[in-house]
Homo-oligomer: A and B are copies of this chain.
Amino acid sequence: MEVKKINEFVVGDYIEGFFLIKSVNIKTTNNNKKYLDITLSDKTGEINAKMWDCTEEDESKYKDNCMIKIRGNVTEWQGNNQFKIDRIRLANDEDDINIEEYVQAAPEDPKFMYGEILKYIDKIKNPDINKITSHVFKENKDKLLYYPAAKSNHHAIRSGLLYHIKRMLMTAEKLSEVYLNINKDFLFAGVILHDVAKIYEMDSNELGIVSDYTNEGQLLGHIIQGIKIIDKEGEKLGIDREVSMLLQHMILSHHNEPEFGSPKRPMIPEAELLHYIDMIDARMYDMEKALEGIEPKQFSDRVWVLNNRRLYKPAVNEE
């Protein structure tokens, strides 16, 4: 019997340990028997698990986002690992589990990241830009601490949104040291606000797991939702109208092309940079993830979110 993280599982392992139920469905076999179809997760990844011959009690006991202790072995089904559960029970107080250890999360502490972002806000000199950015960011502090940046794409992890914003700010500051004409106030504010409405577009629990999009999220989307927030808060705070309009324009245009959801393309250089900074951070995240565990001189599988590319892991290193 072994204690391993999910990303270490090998077909044939017999495993015991604690895991999080990311989602669970009751299904029926061809022979008309019920079983639980579970997505197990821990900090390192996810695996599909089956609990055959489940009882009615099991059906009602094991729910989404429960911590469980299980025993069973790693099998293979159509080329993917699968977990066959032999024993299962709910984790209890005596187990003394820290649930955050079982959830995929950003590599930095949310409060630390929150504080770092505040420092960037302090660097915004224009009082109007500073005021509205600070206000909107602080108003939404509670949710920002744990929200992911997406349901299933890049940064779909606990506090992923903060991590995305923080790395983008780092990049934004660096680029403004090369492109000296850039208005840093707009650029920093744009980075902080561009995706802030994702917390109204998706429903996430405090583990950073998104159950679904909100109704307004589906009907309008975070770009429109974000513009409305800036518009209304801008009016309430008495912000200069051009400042408010340009921040709205940056949010509107940050996907860069109509077919990706931006009806207007960037019309100020800061909006153009925002788009590229966003793309770079998303792509570096996705590529790093795709290359995890790939051996040198090997290719990853095709990655849907990267236009179905396969990625390559060079053997050459800096020396």
Q: Which A residues are closer than 8 A to B by beta carbons?
A: 11, 25-30, 32, 50, 52, 73, 75-79, 82, 84, 125-129, 167, 170-171, 174-175, 177-179, 181-186, 215-216, 218-221, 223-224, 227-228, 231-232, 235, 240, 242-243, 245-246, 248-249, 252, 258-269, 272-273, 276, 279-280, 283-284, 287-288, 291, 297, 299, 307, 309-312, 314-319
Contact = CB atoms under 8 A, between A and B. Distances in A.
A279 B280 contact: no
A245 B219 contact: yes
B248 A312 contact: no
Given A219-B312, A231-B232, 9 more contacts: A26-B76, A30-B52, A30-B77, A185-B318, A219-B267, A224-B227, A224-B252, A224-B263, A268-B314
A126 B317 contact: yes
Nearest to A260: B258
Contact of A218 (B73, B177, B299): B299
Contacts of A220: 227, 245, 248-249, 252, 264
A126 B174 contact: no
Given A27-B76, A319-B126, A269 B284 contact: yes
A318 B126 contact: yes
Contact of A316 (B126, B181, B276, B307): B126
Contact of A318 (B184, B215, B299): B184
Contacts of A279: 276
